């Protein structure tokens, strides 16, 4: 698995481990911040399905910002900046209709 990521990201073993560490830290940060932040906005008992939908739509940009911050802390900011650019291009790319 590690060799596949090394090839895909064109990175050394150490850099791949740092990249995986950044993803791990970002995920745990979002996980640990979710409940305290949401409790400031709405009590747990008053959350509807629409609140949950809005939360999942808004968490993507927050996750990406935290990802870039951890990338900076671990010295991988340029990798994650390019990663974000590719992801945004895939999400918002105008797909031409096939003739």
- The pLDDT tens digits of the residues spanning 34-88 come to 888 877 777 877 778 887 788 888 888 999 999 999 999 999 999 999 999 998 8
pTM of the full structure? 0.80
Q: Please, what is the end-to-end C-alpha distance for the chain in angstroms?
A: 39
Do residues 77 and 68 lie in contact, with contact meaning Cβ atoms separated by under 8 Å? yes
Give pLDDT, residue 67: 96
Neighbouring C-beta atoms of residue 67, cutoff 10 Å: 23
Do residues 11 and 76 lie in contact, with contact meaning Cβ atoms separated by under 8 Å? no
């Amino acid at each position: 698995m590690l060799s596949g990521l090394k090839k895909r990201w064109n990175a050394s073993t150490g850099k791949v481990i740092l990249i995986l560490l950044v993803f791990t830290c970002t995920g745990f940060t979002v996980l640990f911040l979710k409940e305290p932040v949401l409790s400031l906005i709405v009590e747990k008992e008053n959350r509807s399905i629409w609140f949950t939908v809005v939360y999942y739509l808004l968490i993507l940009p927050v996750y990406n910002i935290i990802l870039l911050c951890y990338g900076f802390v671990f010295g991988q900011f340029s990798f994650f900046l390019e990663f974000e650019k590719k992801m945004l291009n895939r999400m918002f790319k105008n797909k031409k209709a096939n003739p």
